[in-house]
Amino acid sequence: MILVTGANGQLASRTLAELRARGAAAVGGSRSIGDGVRRLDFDDPAGIDLRGVSTLVLVSAGFAEDDQVVARHTAVIEAAVRDGVTHVVYTSLTGTGDHLGFALAHRVTEKLLKDSGLGWTILRNGLYAELFGALLMWADDGLESAFGTGALSAVAREDLAATAAVVAAAPAAHDRKTYELVGDPITADDVADRLGVTHSTISLGEYRARLLASDGLLPFQPSMLSSIATSIRHGFLNNSSVDLRTLLERSPVDPLTVAAASTTSLRP
């Protein structure tokens, strides 16, 4: 049986749907149980039960400080060893993202897996095209961002879910392999052109000030988002790989179309 963690999240729920569409015996794990979803709480290590699971799709438990994320991932990997899981598919971060504010927990988790004795596959996911579009800000005369003319090798969430399902359905073929899953590079100017508006660049300082003044952001998020902005602006997330296309056995979804739709959905 395959178990996908974080089953109520967007990437995990899509992965679960992809697996079931392929006829795989797959269930979800989440704090909130439901149809085809059993209880799995990374913050309750003693309660983690992975008995009967052969392949675990470990969707990163982000949106927390590094120590909390690493503790969560450590707990589930230790449970996987204890309960007889044979293979873990981990959704990690693109290799060019080492300088991002949330990279450390991913790299620690990769090391934990490699040292665990389990079979493993690491999916180094590029940043979502949906996220890129959502981070562009609407102004009276068009779009603003701190991205400058920098390009991001963005990838649609649905492609990452499909790829995770391909690997999880036949893990032996991907054992101890690391895949770089990125799409075609896009820029903020590309999105603006697609939408027929202008794009203006703001400074990184201005962007950070806006983030710090925003309601609803957790304490670690302004620095995380600023790291994305400066990485794109200075050309560190514009990389290429054939892995996504090879694993999908089809052309990836156009990331520019996805990013533009995401930006449009947030237009005031």
- 99-115: pLDDT as tens digits: 999 999 999 999 999 99
pLDDT tens column, 154-186: 999 999 999 999 999 999 999 999 999 999 999
Q: What is the pLDDT of residue 156?
A: 98
Low-confidence ranges of the chain (pLDDT < 70): none
Identify the pLDDT of residue 62: 77
Whole-structure pTM value = 0.96
SS (H, E, C) the chain: CEEEECCCCHHHHHHHHHHHHCCCCEEEEECCCECCEEECCCCCHHHCCCCCCCEEEEECCCCCCHHHHHHHHHHHHHHHHHHCCCEEEEEEECHHHCCCCCHHHHHHHHHHHHCCCCEEEEEEECCEHHHHHHHCEEECCEEEECCCCCEEECECHHHHHHHHHHHHHCHHHHCCEEEEECCCEEEHHHHHHHHCCEEEECCHHHHHHHHHHCCCCCCCHHHHHHHHHHHHHCCCCCCCCCHHHHHHCCCCCCHHHHHHHHHHHCCC
Which fold does the domain 2-265 belong to in CATH?
Rossmann fold (3.40.50)
- Predicted confidence at residue 104, as pLDDT, reads 97
Given this model, what pLDDT does residue 196 score?
98
